[in-house]
């Protein structure tokens, strides 16, 4: 399984089926998942960094992760037929 999809499954455990279904048919969704995993990885690195820009970068990656989370949720919501919600 794609590392990005795995990261999104961990973030949204209640939506695993929808994540798996959408990732199986959408390269765009898989790309968003990869971006999400990359942002999480970068945040972990910046959290332990001693670089003077650490705090600034931590906030940037936290914001990016929040934006990607919203984008992922929107894609998942849009992929589920209204009668299945």
Mean pLDDT, to the nearest integer, of 25-53? 97
**Is the CB of residue 33 less than 8 Å from the CB of residue 2?**
yes
- Per-residue tokens: 1: 């399984």
Question: Residues 77, 70, 39, 36: what is their CA dihedral angle, to the nearest 10 degrees?
Answer: 0
**pLDDT > 90? residue 84:** no
CA 19, 8, 27, 82 dihedral sign is positive
Cα–Cα dist 38/57, whole Å:
14
pLDDT-based confidence at 83, cuts 50/70/90? low
- The predicted-structure confidence for 47-70, as pLDDT tens digits, reads as follows 999 999 999 999 999 999 999 999
Cα–Cα dist 5/27, whole Å:
11
**pLDDT > 80? residue 85:** no
């Amino acid at each position: 399984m794609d590392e990005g999809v795995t990261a999104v499954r961990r973030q949204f455990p209640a939506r695993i089926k929808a994540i798996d279904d959408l990732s199986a048919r959408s390269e765009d969704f898989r790309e968003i998942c990869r971006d999400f995993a990359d942002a999480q990885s970068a945040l972990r690195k910046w959290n332990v960094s001693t670089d003077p820009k650490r705090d600034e970068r931590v906030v940037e990656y936290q914001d990016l992760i929040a934006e990607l989370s919203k984008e992922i949720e929107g894609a998942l919501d849009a992929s589920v037929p209204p009668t299945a919600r």
